[in-house]
Amino acid sequence: MLKMKESSRKFLEKYLPEALEKETRQDALKLLYRLIDEKGFEPPIYETYNDFGREAQRVYDDLYLSND
């Protein structure tokens, strides 16, 4: 089971529940990376995070740092 803050768990339950089923940090991070890539950037240039992207990146960082 992956370790994470409660806020990260709630985010994943809402937006990416399949990540909670993954056994490894890397598998969950791959799914989260794809989600950030799809929904996490501001148009029209798509170089800057939008609000969703910033929150998703915090979850990504939490998963990365909490599981070694």
Q: What is the pLDDT of residues 27-64, one digit of tens each?
A: 999 999 999 999 999 999 999 999 999 999 999 999 99
Give the relative orientation of helices 6-15 and 51-66 as an angle to the nearest 10 degrees: 120
Report the C-alpha gap between 37 and 53 in whole angstroms.
8
User: Using CB atoms within 10 A of its CB, is residue 41 exposed (0-12), middle (13-18) or buried (19+)?
Assistant: middle
Report the C-alpha gap between 47 and 20 in whole angstroms.
28
Residue in this structure with the two tokens 């994470």, named with its chain if needed:
4
User: Taking phi first (over 0 means left), then psi (-120 to 50 degrees means alpha), and beta for anything else, what does residue 46 get?
Assistant: left
The pTM of this model reads 0.94
